[in-house]
Amino acid sequence: MSDQENTTVKELSGLSINELRARIDRLDRTIVQALNERLLLARAIGEIKKKEGLPVVDLPREREVLARLEQANEGPLPNETLRYVYTEVMAASRRIQKPVRVAFLGPEATFTHLAAVSHFGRATSFVPQPSIRDVFEEVEKKNCAYGVVPVENSIEGAVNHTLDLFPNSDLLICAEIYSAISHDLLSRETAPDQVQTIFSHPQALAQCRQWLRKHMPAASLVECGSTSEAAHKAACTPRSAAVAGSQAAMVYDLLVLASRIEDSIHNVTRFLVIGPDRIPPTGRDKTSLVFATAHVPGALYQALGPIADAGVNMVKLESRPSKSASWHYQFFVDVEGHLQDPPVARVVEQMHETCAFVKWLGSYPQAEI
């Protein structure tokens, strides 16, 4: 505890509860006034953006604000709470300038929805989409400013459909979000032994495979397009349940028959924010590329050689079958650094010389896991 905090604690310890509450009331009024003044300033900035044709959302600026506030925070307010509060404040600031629409893999209460809310704030207009392709199309058609899609899970690996859409899309990766995933068994029934059918997304079922085999061996497993769709089906189907997040229980009025049924406690999904923006360097960035090699011996080694030679750290490498030729592959790679950083720019330039195809998918701030 700092000297200032010690002084404050000593000063407050001599006050009565009514005196302390009176101080809180005064502070609350000051906070509300300050928040309203902040929104008026945001509205004025919005008018300037409109005149100059600038986008409403400025993700690097928002990240800079959060970093500065965390650095200035001396406690006892946890930085996690500070981030949550100011994410909502900035969402309200965006909304007063112009409502921002964000597409996500829906429906409501999916893990993608929760990741989108954590990143953009609840004051944002979220637009659920039935498929990952639909998320891409809504942003490409400019019906939504951004989209949020899952790209990989720490247990089950890559979300292939997301990767497959990037080579033919003009959208860029603007940000990444890591979200811890926890699954519950949800149902209208009151006990697990009353459940005969379990609905869920294939990845959720896979992430709970051992628990389901041990505790629900007789139940039929039925795959759905999302965990939220599974919860909806469980709400409408007798003697059934869903594997989904706890948020879905509130949305679909289901009981939680068992909590945290995932097989691993280290279950994290990485989501991507996709959009048209080129994000400037922050000093702690990640760059994503997709490339294809000639179908000759040593081609992959030659393609990756510039990364090692430049001393750039490669944090991900994933292969996917090419959609244009049988038994040919495209490779997705993530490296530390920004395209504007000389070592990364040099790597990309050299890869163009050795690869049949190279595409930059975006440079963006590295998220905390």
- Specify whether 176 is located in the same domain as 104: yes
Q: Say if CB 185 and CB 243 are below 8 A apart.
A: yes
The span from the CA of 225 to the CA of 219, in Å, is 19
> Is 6 inside any structural domain?
no
Q: What's the confidence (pLDDT) of residue 92?
A: 86
Using one digit for the tens of pLDDT, what is the confidence trace for 42-55? Answer: 889 888 888 887 77
> Is 132 inside any structural domain?
yes
Using one digit for the tens of pLDDT, what is the confidence trace for 292-338? Answer: 887 777 888 888 899 998 999 999 999 988 776 665 788 999 999 99
The span from the CA of 94 to the CA of 55, in Å, is 10
- Specify whether 54 is located in the same domain as 117: no
pTM, entire model: 0.79
- Specify whether 49 is located in the same domain as 77: yes
> Is 150 inside any structural domain?
yes
Q: Say if CB 86 and CB 66 are below 8 A apart.
A: yes
The span from the CA of 229 to the CA of 241, in Å, is 12
Please list, in sequence order, all residues whose beta carbon lies within 8 angstroms of the beta carbon of residue 110, skipping any fewer than 6 positions away.
104, 226, 227, 228, 245
- Specify whether 195 is located in the same domain as 161: no
Q: What's the confidence (pLDDT) of residue 282?
A: 87
Q: For 48, phi and psi rounded to 5 degrees? A: -65, -45
> Is 334 inside any structural domain?
yes
The span from the CA of 352 to the CA of 348, in Å, is 6
The span from the CA of 42 to the CA of 338, in Å, is 29
Residues lower than pLDDT 50 in the chain: 1
Residue finishing a domain among 96, 126, 161: 96
Please list, in sequence order, all residues whose beta carbon lies within 8 angstroms of the beta carbon of residue 170, skipping any fewer than 6 positions away.
140, 276
- Specify whether 191 is located in the same domain as 176: no
Take residue 224 and report the two structure tokens written for it: 């759905």
Three-state SS string over 217-243 comes to CCCEEEECCCHHHHHHHHHHCCCEEEE
Q: Which domain holds residue 314?
A: 279-365
Nearest to 247 by CA among 112, 147, 369: 112
Take residue 356 and report the two structure tokens written for it: 């049949």
Nearest to 123 by CA among 104, 97, 141, 150: 97
- Domain total in the chain: 4
Exposure string (b/e) for 270-289, b if CB count within 10 Å is 16 or more?
A: bbbbbbebebebeeebbbbb
- Specify whether 51 is located in the same domain as 92: yes
